[in-house]
Structure 1
Amino acid sequence: MPKLTPRGWQVAALAEWERANHRGIVSVVTGGGKTIFALSCVDRIRPIATLIVVPTAALLEQWWEEAANYFDLGLDEINIVTGSLRFRLGTINIAVLNTAAKLAAKIEQHKCFLIVDECHKAASEHFRAALQIQTTASLGLSATPERPYDEGLKDVLIPALGPVIFSYDYGDALRDGVIVPFELRNIVFDLEEDRQAEYDKLSKAIARSISQHGTEAEETIALFLKRARVLNLSLNRIRLALKLVAANRGKRTLIFHEDIEACNLIHAVLSENGVRAGVYHSKMTLRDRAVMLRQYRKGEIDVLVTCRALDEGFNVPETELGIIAASTATRRQRIQRLGRVVRPAQGKTGALIYTLVATGPEIQRLKEEEAQLENIATVGWSRA
């Protein structure tokens, strides 16, 4: 028998999903409990077979563990679909998107309950074959089902999985104690002179390229990427992140950056100064990453410096302080990063997130966020 008492929103969302004939997308704030909700849907309809599709191997491991716990099963009673594409009836199957995209053709004769986690990712050209699987029921899960830059939600996800039937946002989660109260401190700093000049030069080149070739053109995108790198590799940004760690010594801290070199540099400086720090990024082996994460969770290190690899799907509720030293323009990444820090843990009464910004567009995005989070989070601004 399932062991967990469902949260209020999970009961309400389950009722909506049943009303929608066991189809639909549920939008839930990061950390809100969407895994348990999906497993309660499986428990409710007891399908002949379930296929859970996830974007990464790390998320696959989390679902595997949670599903086994929820239904009191051994890990080997749940089928992990690998390259051999072996699919088992009468149980829960879990696959990463890449594998699921190849599976659709193989299991045409079987209908299953299809659950797609972080479903916004399945709308891409590369992965949407995963949505061709024949279904008796379907459920999409995402903190942000809308896809910036395209019509993927309307054209791909809704036809395959059903409409967005339920939303659970920061305000709801705060009210229910699903996340802790949090404070955002946005720090505006100046780029170094030569870097500012390079940023301005690239901004003009981008404007020219947009008028000549359009926003989506390869030339324009290449310039955007170049400008983002100029912005992210500011040494003032790194200095400021280090200063914030020093001012909050001993707090369990996640530092987010966009560049692996910068992450390694921050980690090296912290270690040289006696701070118990680790680093976590995609160039490390899976084993080394697992060791770092474990050390951070157990409190053997206080600071974990990460480059994107922790954006989705990792549960580190012990974190009290987030420092977003560099970020992309996407709202989804922002939501995922805040979600890493605002999860509740024993003895945790609140969370603090610093964001370092240097340019007009960055400041504008945070001003818009401040308006959306009115009465939900405390937002403060300062100059470095």
Structure 2
Amino acid sequence: MRLEELLATALSDGGRTTRALVSSVKAAGGHGVSRAAIERCLERDPRFERAADDLKAVWYLRDDAKDAGTGEVGGKTGEVGGKTAPAGPDTRGRIDAMQLRAWQAEAFAAWSQTGCGVVEAVTGTGKTRLAMAAIRAVVDRGARVLVLVPTLDLLDQWVRELRALVPDLQVGRLGGGHDDDLFANHVVVATPHSAAAVPVDLPPGARGLLIADEAHRYGAPTWGAALHDVFEMRLALTATYERGDDGLVDVLEPYFGEVVMRYGYDRAVAEGTVAPFRIALVGVRLTDAERERYDAADHRARQLHRELVGGLGMPREPKALFAAVAAVVSDADRGGGREDRGGGREDRGGGTGPQVRACREYLVRVRERRDVAATASGKLEVCRAAAAGLAGRRTLAFTDTVDQAEDAARVLTRAGCTAETVHGGLTTDKRRIRLAQFRRGRLDVVVAPRVLDEGVDVPAADVAIVLAAFRTRRQMVQRLGRVLRVKPDGGEARLVLAHAIGTAEDPAGGGHRDFLAQVRSVAREIRDIDVDRAPADLADWLQGDGLEGR
């Protein structure tokens, strides 16, 4: 039963407070419905009215609505957020012409119920086209749309796709030297910094829809400033709706509301939305010098962990601990003070107390430990071993640093591949030229240090080689998504995940646990390959030779 119907049923025998309605909706099975979503529905649906002089906001079902029955208000194609004004005559046909996949149509219908919500779908499944359907529906009703994107590259990509899919709409830009507005345009695509820096107003009487691409980023204070309240309708798009801080609870959930659709690998692979894929876990051994550095940093990090958790009362769970440690250091750097476990204030302006000192060193040792593993020299041997298997397979390689990217490109070039790097030290034109060469097949491999993770329009590829990765599910989902676009020949995608054996990266010790748990049941194969003992195995696997998987 839809939210509107649940509320109408609850109010059919008399008025209720918002708090009582929340309980009624939960009792009727709406456990995932937030109070904010209920309040929006009550405000927007003309069947509901509030006692004008009641401070407790008692809601009633209008008498004419009781006579008419509960009926459906939202959720139909072209009807958004419970509004009953007629859409443009061709809206349904225009949305049908977009040829939405089943999941996109389902997500659009779920979002249309209230006109707010979050859609979490793995990279490469078509979140942008879903957003185009929402844009088509609301603009046909006279609304205006602000689309927030994290980078200028994505701004250009969105503008191109908007002009291709909704060519009758006027599309403007805000950012990169442009200052278009929603008075002269139906849609404006903006970077968050530009949208936060200037007022973004709507024409008199017009409703607004705000769409946030890579929405998990907007939990940060500087990005969240772009989330303007004037936009009643809101749609958040992300591959991984998670953050390492409180940004989801403090910023994103209050603004966008609940998650209305999750579309994961299991369903995407089964429905043919993404290519089937295989994963190779390739372990490399640290040199003696690398092992000595790693073990020293690891030993000290563990000592500090015990001190922070046992002696200073900080969270035991790793992600929560890291967030708490970072918050202590950030607060100290701003000259403030945080309450110590005794209730007093510590390190006001100085940042030299025992808790802050321990937190600072903990961050340094964890970073040192991660850096040794991420840049292990043996990972270049993974590139050398893979090169013979990359013929005819466009490949993206992800590194930790620019130096590692340059080294990997040299190794691949010497092994017979055409390889170039893409990183922040290059001019914008040079980065775009290299990506264009890759798109046209003039480069076999593009190597990049994290710059291709999000916010860049990356050409389709067949293979991803990950030489270094943070231990976050989000980063791995993004990287796998870069090669999951359906292949013209129906072929598979392949992911090579290199890791330093006996470190926090090693899957045998819990490395990439969340990501592997997400893909283990849907990957056609997850195989361990030892390039030190059998270097030819990796090239054979990349070419699809029939080695037994596990």
TM-score by length of 2: 0.65
Q: Does 1:132 align with 2:228?
A: yes
Please give the root-mean-square deviation of Cα atoms over the aligned residues, in Å.
2.1
Q: Is the 8 A contact 2:143 2:208 kept in 1?
A: yes
Q: Is the 8 A contact 2:100 2:130 kept in 1?
A: yes
> Where does 1:332-343 land on structure 2 (aligned, <5 Å)?
332-343=474-485
Change (3 A) 1:129 1:201: same
Change (3 A) 1:314 1:180: farther
Which of 521, 529, 536 in structure 2 is aligned with 1:375?
A: 521
Q: Does 1:221 align with 2:340?
A: no
**Alpha-carbon distance in 2 for matches of 1:258, 1:58:** 22
DSSP-derived class of the 1:88 partner: coil
Which of 173, 178, 181 in structure 2 is aligned with 1:80?
A: 173
Q: Does 1:344 align with 2:479?
A: no
Shift of 1:52: 0.2
Count matched residues: 379
Q: Is the 8 A contact 1:317 1:344 kept in 2?
A: no
Q: Does 1:203 align with 2:203?
A: no
Change (3 A) 1:24 1:368: closer
Q: Is the 8 A contact 2:145 2:182 kept in 1?
A: no
**Alpha-carbon distance in 1 for matches of 2:302, 2:395:** 38
Aligned AA for 2:444? Answer: D
**Alpha-carbon distance in 2 for matches of 1:94, 1:145:** 22
Q: Does 1:361 align with 2:508?
A: no
Name 2:125's counterpart in structure 1: 32
**Alpha-carbon distance in 2 for matches of 1:218, 1:113:** 42
Q: Does 1:96 align with 2:191?
A: yes
Q: What are the superposed Cα offsets for residues 31-69 of structure 1, whole Å, 9 maximum, x if unpaired?
A: 111111011011112243110001111111111111111
**Alpha-carbon distance in 2 for matches of 1:276, 1:95:** 35
Which of 367, 372, 390 in structure 2 is aligned with 1:230?
A: 372
Shift of 1:334: 0.5
Shift of 1:73: 4.5
Deviates further, 274-283 or 310-319: 310-319
Q: Does 1:296 align with 2:438?
A: yes
Name 2:419's counterpart in structure 1: 277
> Where does 1:252-271 land on structure 2 (aligned, <5 Å)?
252-271=394-413
DSSP-derived class of the 1:61 partner: helix
Q: Is the 8 A contact 2:282 2:497 kept in 1?
A: yes
Name 1:142's counterpart in structure 2: 238
Change (3 A) 1:199 1:131: same
**Which protein has the larger Cα radius of gyration, Structure 1 or Structure 2?**
2
**Alpha-carbon distance in 2 for matches of 1:68, 1:133:** 27
**Alpha-carbon distance in 2 for matches of 1:258, 1:112:** 40
Gaps of 5+ in 1: none
Which of 320, 325, 328 in structure 1 is aligned with 2:470?
A: 328
Q: Percent identity?
A: 29
Change (3 A) 1:314 1:154: same
Gaps of 5+ in 2: 1-93, 309-313, 315-321, 326-358, 532-550
Q: Does 1:194 align with 2:337?
A: no
> Where does 1:148-163 land on structure 2 (aligned, <5 Å)?
149-163=244-258
Q: Is the 8 A contact 1:14 1:41 kept in 2?
A: yes
Shift of 1:349: 0.9
DSSP-derived class of the 2:222 partner: coil
